[in-house]
Amino acid sequence: MYSGAEEVERTLNDNFLTDALRSSRSRELQLLQERLLALSGKFETPLRIFDIGIGDGYVPLRFEKKLLENIEQYIGIDNSPQEIEYCEKNVRQAGLVGKVKALEFDATNLDDLSFRKKLPLPFHAVICTYFTPGNFRPDEIKLEWDARGRIVPYPKSVLEPNTKFQKVFSDAYDLLGSGGELILGSTYIDSPATRIKQEEFYKNCGMHAITSENDTFTATQEGFWSQRFTEERIFSYINWVVREDIKLVPIGTDSFSRMVVVTKS
């Protein structure tokens, strides 16, 4: 997804966040904890949670004590060896070994039966936070640019729908038990204002955008790709459940990001 470790570290570092990103991340964590505590009460049992894109462990390491006490096992995956290393170190320092576990694994392979056999299925919640749901780029979109520094033409149809997004999250949905929730912690709302805020953040991180107002995602020369979503796009992508099972939760009041909650019937 990225050209190097430096870009990964900067996108996760609070020092590089814009005010919009910092506010969204804080509110996302608050909403996520509220939902997980509600799930714990609903099931009346400690939770088993699966995290797609655990990174350096930012999310579980910031859970309040009350929530941690209501978690049986928290398993996260990431395709970055460096992030897994950071996460394992942070988990040890926090004294959460045995409760939080990080695995190097690609989310596009969640249908791998040999991997699934190693998991404590079913999970009460599968989460994907901090705009990671928008990072699953179709293979047909190449991160190459022309002499003007703009992304080379790509078939618009590959985003209608984004089948890579659909595969990852339909496979993730299968990891849930009845009544469990697939929680996409934060997704960018598709609007001109959001695009500008995305580009400000990437510029803060030392990246160079190659997309324009004609694209529904932002990409950079450094290998970053992040999609934005309209409400209708969310509903059309998550097409393996009825619309009533999908809840859209605004994060803040600035129409910048939203949480998506899919309940398994």
pLDDT tens by residue, 77-114: 999 999 999 999 999 999 999 999 999 999 999 999 99
Collapsed DSSP state (helix, strand, coil) of residue 78: strand
Domain count, the chain: 1
* Helix, strand, coil percentages for the chain (3-state, nearest 5): 40, 25, 35
Structural domain span for residue 187: 5-263
pLDDT tens by residue, 170-186: 999 999 999 999 999 99
Report the distance separating Cα 22 and Cα 85, nearest Å: 24
Identify the pLDDT of residue 185.
96
**In the structure, what pLDDT confidence band is assigned to residue 48 with cuts at 50, 70 and 90?**
very high
Identify the pLDDT of residue 254.
87
Can you tell me the mean pLDDT for 232-244?
98
- Mean pLDDT taken over the chain: 94
Identify the pLDDT of residue 38.
97
CATH number for the domain that contains residue 197: 3.40.50.150
**In the structure, what pLDDT confidence band is assigned to residue 37 with cuts at 50, 70 and 90?**
very high
pLDDT tens by residue, 15-36: 778 888 899 999 999 999 999 9
**In the structure, what pLDDT confidence band is assigned to residue 1 with cuts at 50, 70 and 90?**
very low
Identify the pLDDT of residue 8.
57
Identify the pLDDT of residue 3.
46
Q: How much is the pTM? A: 0.94
pLDDT tens by residue, 121-142: 999 999 999 999 999 999 999 9
Identify the pLDDT of residue 130.
94
Q: Provide the H-helix boundaries in 134-254.
A: 163-173, 192-204, 231-237
Report the distance separating Cα 202 and Cα 16, nearest Å: 9
In the chain, DSSP finds a helix count (H) and a strand count (E) of 9, 9
> Which residues have C-beta within 8 Å of that of residue 69, sequence separation ≥ 6?
none
DSSP codes joined into one string, 98-138: TTEEEEE--GGGTT-HHHHTTS-SSEEEEEE-TTGGGG---
Give kind and range of the element (H or E) at residue 90: helix 81-94
